[in-house]
Amino acid sequence: MTATVGQEQAAARANDVWKVYGSGEAQVAALRGVSAEFERGRFTAIMGPSGSGKSTLMHCLAGLDTVTKGTVMIGDTTVTGLNDAGLTKLRRDKVGFIFQQFNLLPTLTAQENILLPLSIAGRKPDPAWYDVVIDTVGLRDRLGHRPAQLSGGQQQRVACARALVARPEVIFADEPTGNLDSRSGAEVLKFLRNSVREHGQTIVMVTHDPTAAAYADRVVFLADGQIVSELIEPTAETVLDTMKKLDAPVEVGN
């Protein structure tokens, strides 16, 4: 099935995307003709069992991985076929990342980590927005600390601030709560949802945690490299139900 939203413009879009690894006998198709749109100003979760291709889809959407067939667009930029320089520019201007492992530079302070993408691109932060971000993540008194001096939740909030501060077209979050206890996880998810509701940020999150997916506005389900279902305004229960159906041996339609 195809997950589309009939809105004026999508922040990210996949069009009949195939991703095939290996060749000949050992050929494995991770994505099989996925088409999806992720609309602006919304929080979308991608769910699916292990090996469903959800991470691959995100990597392809973000331009981290190439697609075998089909096209990927972010905003009005066609990602497919961009060279390294084009991809670098894309990552600078339009894409933000939040990782499961936080991926902060251990040698830099929290503030330096947050400002790193801007300083790499050689830009100055917008002070008003920077203040908003810092206040939203609630880290003002921790800015001079190094990652090792912060708790896991705090580190992930630094990572979120880092993704937000450049105001990218879309933020891709890869299991952002995977390494956090449930309380810190909830904090981070609330914070992500707020940044969508209050500041119109677009977020695409990959997760296998139904509770986390419930924070999203919409959930897209993947199985065996294809989109098999979707939920609007999900709750943990509806997500869990859908997941159970996906795990069932019988192919579930829409």
Partner 1 sequence: MLRATLKSLLARKLRLLLSGLAVVLGVMFVSGAFVLTDTLGRSFDAVFADAYAEVDVSVEAKPKIDVSTAEGMPLSTPMPASVLDRVKAVPGVADAAGVVAAEGARMIGSNGKVVTSFGPPQLGQNWLGESDLLELREGRGPQADDEIVINAALAEAGKVKVGDRVGVLTLAPKKEFTLVGVFGYSGGRDSIGGANEVYFTTPVAQQLMLGKPDVFSNISVQAADGTTPAALRDELARTLGADYQVKTGEQLAADASAGLKEGLSFFNKILLGFAAVALLVGTFLILNTFSIIVAQRTRELALMRAIGASGKQVIGSVVLEALAVGLIASVLGLAAGIGVGALLAYLFGQLAGGLTLAGLGVPASAVFGAFAVGMLITVVAALLPALRASRIPPIAAMQDVATPDRPLTKVTIGGAVVTGIGAVLLFLGLGGHAGDSTLATILGGVLFAFIGVALLTPIISRPVVSLLGAMFSWSVPGKLGRLNSGRNPRRTAITAAALMVGIALVTGVTVILDSAKGSIGALAEDTIKAELVISGSTSGPRPASFDPAVLEKAAAIPGVQMVDGEYGDMAVVGGQRTWVAVSSNVAALQQIFGAKAAAGDISKLAPDQMLVSSDTAKARNLSVGSTVPVQLSRGDARTYTVSGIYESSQLTNPVTLPPQAAADFAIPQPIQGFLQLAPGTSVDAVQPQIERLLADSPEVSVADRAGFIEQQTGQLDSLLQMIQILLALAIVIAVLGIINTLALSVLERTRELGLLRAIGLRRAQTMRMITVEAVVISIFGALLGVVVGTGLGAAVVEALKDEGITDLILPWGQMVTFLILAAIIGVVAAVLPAIRAARINVLGAIAHD
Residues between 191 and 220 with contacts to partner 1, criterion CB under 8 A:
none
Q: How far is the CB of 241 from partner 1 (least distance, A)?
A: 29
Residues between 150 and 169 with contacts to partner 1, criterion CB under 8 A:
162, 166
Q: How far is the CB of 221 from partner 1 (least distance, A)?
A: 21
Q: How far is the CB of 10 from partner 1 (least distance, A)?
A: 22
Near partner 1 by CB under 8 A: residue from 37, 39, 169, 174: 174
35 or 88: CB nearest partner 1: 88
CB 169 within 8 A of CB 11: yes
The CB density around residue 140, as the number of other CB atoms within 10 Å, is 10
Binding mask 86-125 for partner 1 (x = CB under 8 A): --x--xxx--xx-xxx-x-xxxx---x---xx-xxx----
29 or 64: CB nearest partner 1: 64
Binding site for partner 1 (CB under 8 A): 55, 59, 64-65, 84-85, 88, 91-93, 96-97, 99-101, 103, 105-108, 112, 116-117, 119-121, 162, 166, 174
